[in-house]
A and B are shown apart, each in its own frame.
Chain A
């Protein structure tokens, strides 16, 4: 059975919130305020998130959100945003 659109949207919102919180914690540890980082901000442009930092955020959300990250659903070549990451959680 396909999930209805409203349920999917709610779940995506939850994942986005978890991603935002995980990123804010990551940035907080590095002494960088997370205010102003939106769904479309390219995380690599922040200059403080490397592959390890990205992995930390993804794994944390996989654990807390109970959903699996599917990297084949994200196009890394066009930049990495919270919105795109959220869309890659199956």
Chain B
């Protein structure tokens, strides 16, 4: 039996569930047990566990032959929800390495920065991302083994980068896969980079044990089976994709990736393929609702509907409940630092009971063995109904920020009074414990915002703006918000001396991912400052309202 979830009090860390094995071991088992079943529907076709296994083994073998497999190694994957990108993830894990997902839509400088910061010595590139690999590899000084499973031969530009080695389709024989050794729960599973308030992305290495703790909870909670069919809507750089891939594949189920155009409104895709598990950011459901694509009874086959990544408005949850009448709905919450999701709130089945929920659906209680406490500013526990900062503890919490002991010391520290032996993370999220609902998410204590579920530190946007504008005075804010309270984009402010708006935005596009690039720029004649001489954001906001 699972231990009772702990919220608001400190628990005994020995209550945590036993960790399962590694993702690599789980993949091996599923690939053997479910060989002839469909593992993946992607690029317009079905892929069996056997085919996925062969492709992953080819990549794992190449890493082993090159001496780049095993704990302490990191293999980056540059791809966008393609068969080769998924095989790259699986191959890295079979090799016992951690994978580092890279998004081909991100600017070359940012990709190169991630490759260098991750100290990745191998890179899997899918066919659609080959062109996007050229510039970051050109900027990368350390040698990288570049695996291009879809390409018959290395790209011509590869010859201009002799310090990197390229292996293509026919070179990937998988012969080295036999020499691979099983990993351990302390090995890295994946390294993700999120927006950083100091102006550069920060990395989080999530260990096998962290993921195993989450997947064990999720498997007990949702009981997926081989007949289930999961949505796959998240980019691999979004850690919610880890839930999709490994909860699904651990159960021998099938993962369905809608084509890019359908990803923002996959109504027909879900209906045609009779999917049973839905997982998305609430923005996707909000978009479908606003386009009148959420109609009562639309999704009769869904048995689970999960939302995570940003606040879930009750209005959207009500529409979804009507559209998916046979589905249980849960609102999940969790920062990357606490591995995918660490609290959950299950919505009642009765529409009248959903209507009585707060405007923003609660984030509920911690998953089994995990802890959540709300603390006052002085570090003492907040009473029920009192606002405070949310701290998360347990086996899902990562060790810290990658190669950043300063930031780690600041954020990964135990609250006073907690039992030794538990890893803690200070979220910066404001929360309140509400009787009957568990935790309510109340916003941020700092300037972090969510755009389409993506975490954005506005200071990082401002650093890019200052660089682009060549001046000290630059500001960014999330604006406007839509009727559900979602930030629709980022607006920038620069002084009149800055280069033309197009020039500023073009420079931002060269360093920031698309969702962090401001949608418009305001030029300010007289920069507003408060009594302390700092930027007066309230006055800037009034300029656009």
Residues of A within 8 A of B (CB): 29-32, 42, 44, 47-48, 50-55, 58, 69, 71-72, 75-80
Contacts and interface: CB of A to CB of B under 8 A. Distances in A.
Contact of A50 (B293, B503, B514): B514
B233 to A, nearest CB: 11
A23 B259 CA distance: 23
Interface stretch (B160-168, B262-270, B390-398): B262-270
A72 B260 CA distance: 17
B105 interface: yes
Given A29-B519, A58-B291, A71-B292, A44 B260 contact: yes
Given A58-B291, A77-B259, A30 B265 contact: no
28 contacts: A30-B505, A30-B520, A31-B505, A42-B261, A47-B105, A47-B514, A48-B517, A50-B264, A51-B264, A51-B284, A51-B452, A52-B287, A52-B452, A52-B482, A52-B489, A54-B264, A55-B287, A55-B291, A71-B291, A72-B293, A75-B268, A76-B262, A76-B268, A77-B259, A77-B268, A77-B269, A78-B261, A79-B261
Contacts of A53: 519
Interface string B496-529: 0000011111100000001101011100000000
Interface residues of B, number: 35
Given A52-B452, A76-B262, A71 B293 contact: yes
Given A47-B105, A50-B514, A77 B283 contact: no
B519 A30 contact: yes
Contacts of B259: 77-79
Nearest to B501: A31
Contacts of B260: 44, 79
Given A52-B452, A71-B292, A77 B519 contact: no
B45 interface: no
Contacts of B505: 30-32
Contacts of B506: 31
A44 B290 CA distance: 19
A75 B292 CA distance: 15
A28 to B, nearest CB: 9
A78 to B, nearest CB: 7
Contact of B262 (A47, A52, A77): A77
Contacts of A44: 260-261
A79 B105 CA distance: 17
Given A30-B505, A51-B284, A52-B489, A80 B517 contact: no
Nearest to A30: B519
A12 B239 CA distance: 42
Given A30-B517, A55-B291, A71-B292, A50 B452 contact: yes
A79 to B, nearest CB: 5
B250 interface: no
A53 B482 CA distance: 12
